[in-house]
């Protein structure tokens, strides 16, 4: 993860055949620098997949795509048909590859399954990505976890799960009451408690790595999210690697 928080989101996934980004919510400069710091070639991005149009997921997208194009690389952007019109390219015509939410996209040996998530965007999706026997899942920006999302997470060896806020911190947080209501709604964001309810009851037993992501900088701290998740894992009787994605910091590399 190059970034995962309410301040910006960008995930890098690589196989010998493909290198893709999921979202581009940090600046072009940060994206390229963090790829280079991880030992990856920033010029070798083959495609970008977008979950939804909120700024913390697309803020760096136009500059990133235009920068690639200026050097002769027209990197395709995959997103849903209803999300595409929500993006402003300021006259630039990118290579958009639109799909219906819920569609499976085959890309250079990757099986990228989109699935609808409950969030207050136009047509938000999560993704599972499968390469060979390895499957990972990205499930952030959702107000609750419906059965359809739980079904898609099954069989995943790595799951990035939202653990956005601590409800007590949110109550006294600095944002307006209307924003708090949005966060708490069924089209908002998962709290630590909501994430832990899923972890303690239905987290797939085959998960080897569980990453808690999209933490709010104002309404959560990594220690709280990790503490609650460890207790939930104990109740479930599972002991996967547990990692908390800290806001504004890239994670270590995960190998599947």
Confidence of residue 173 (pLDDT cuts 50, 70, 90): confident
Asked whether the predicted pLDDT for residue 102 surpasses 90, the reply is: yes
Q: What is the pLDDT of residue 126?
A: 98
Show the tokens assigned to 47: 């495609």
Q: Are strands 3-5 and 8-14 parallel, antiparallel or unpaired?
A: antiparallel
Give the pLDDT mean for 191-214: 98
Q: What is the pLDDT of residue 85?
A: 97
Asked whether the predicted pLDDT for residue 248 surpasses 90, the reply is: no
Rg (CA), the chain: 17
**Architecture in CATH for domain 3-244:** 4-Layer Sandwich (3.60)
Return the H-helix or E-strand segment holding 49: strand 47-49
What CA–CA distances, in Å, run from 188 to 120, 184, 213?
Answer: 6, 6, 15
Give the pLDDT mean for 152-172: 96
Q: Helix, strand, or coil here: 9?
A: strand
Confidence of residue 212 (pLDDT cuts 50, 70, 90): very high
Q: What is the pLDDT of residue 103?
A: 98
């Amino acid at each position: 993860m190059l970034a995962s928080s309410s301040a910006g989101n960008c995930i890098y996934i690589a196989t010998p055949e493909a290198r893709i980004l999921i979202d581009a919510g940090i600046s072009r400069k940060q994206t390229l620098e963090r790829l280079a710091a991880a030992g990856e070639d920033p010029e070798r991005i083959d495609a970008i997949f977008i979950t939804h149009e909120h700024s913390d997921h697309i803020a760096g997208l136009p500059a990133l795509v235009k920068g690639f194009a200026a050097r002769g690389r027209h990197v395709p952007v995959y997103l849903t048909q209803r999300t595409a019109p929500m993006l402003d390219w300021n006259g630039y015509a990118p290579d958009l590859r639109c799909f219906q939410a819920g569609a499976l996209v085959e890309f250079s040996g990757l099986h990228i399954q989109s699935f609808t998530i409950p969030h207050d965007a136009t047509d938000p999706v999560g993704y599972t990505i499968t390469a060979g026997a390895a499957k990972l899942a990205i499930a952030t920006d959702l107000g609750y976890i419906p059965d359809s999302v739980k079904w898609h997470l099954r069989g995943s060896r790595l799951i990035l799960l939202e653990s956005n806020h601590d409800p007590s911190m949110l109550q006294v947080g600095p944002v307006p009451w209307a924003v708090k209501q949005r966060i708490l709604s069924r089209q908002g964001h998962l709290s630590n408690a909501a994430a832990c309810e899923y972890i303690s009851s239905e987290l797939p037993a085959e998960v080897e790595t569980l990453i808690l992501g999209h933490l709010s900088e104002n309404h959560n701290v990594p220690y709280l999210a990790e503490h609650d998740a460890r207790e939930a894992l104990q109740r479930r009787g599972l002991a996967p690697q547990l990692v908390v994605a800290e806001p504004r910091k890239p994670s270590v590399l995960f190998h599947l």
